[in-house]
Chain A
Amino acid sequence: MRRTLVALGIFAAALLAALPANAQQAIKIGLIMPYSGQFADTATQMDNAIKLYMKQRGDTVAGRKIEVIRKDTGGVAPDVAKRLAQELIVRDNVDLLAGFILTPNALAVGDVSAEAKKFMVVMNAATAIITTKSPYMARTSVTIPQLTETFGTWARKNGMGQVYTMVSDYGPGHDAEQSFQRGFKEAGGQVIGSVRFPVANPDFSAFIQRAKDLNPEAIFVFVPGGVQPAAIGKALAERGIDPKKTKVLGMGELTEDEARKSMGDASLGILTVYHYDHNHDSALNRAFVKAFNEAYGRNPNIYSIGGYDGMHLIYEALKKTGGKTDGESLIAAAKGMGWESPRGPISIDAETRDIVQTVYIRRVEKVGGQLLNVEFDKIENVKDPVKARMKK
Chain B
Amino acid sequence: MPELLRPASVDEAAGLFASHGAAAAILAGGTGLLRETHPSDDGVLIALDRLGLDRVESRDGGWSVGAAVSLSGLRAAVPIPALQAATREIGGPAVQNMATVGGNLFARAPFGDLAPALLALGARLVFASADGEEEQPIEAFYAGWSEDGAPRAGLLTRIEIDEPAGAVSYLKCARRRYASPSVVSVAASVEKDGSGAVSDARIALSGASAHPFRCAAAEQAVIGAGLDDAAMAAAGAAAEAAVTPATDPVASDWYRRRMAGVFVRRALAALA
A and B co-occur in one complex: no
A residues at B contact (CB < 8 Å): none
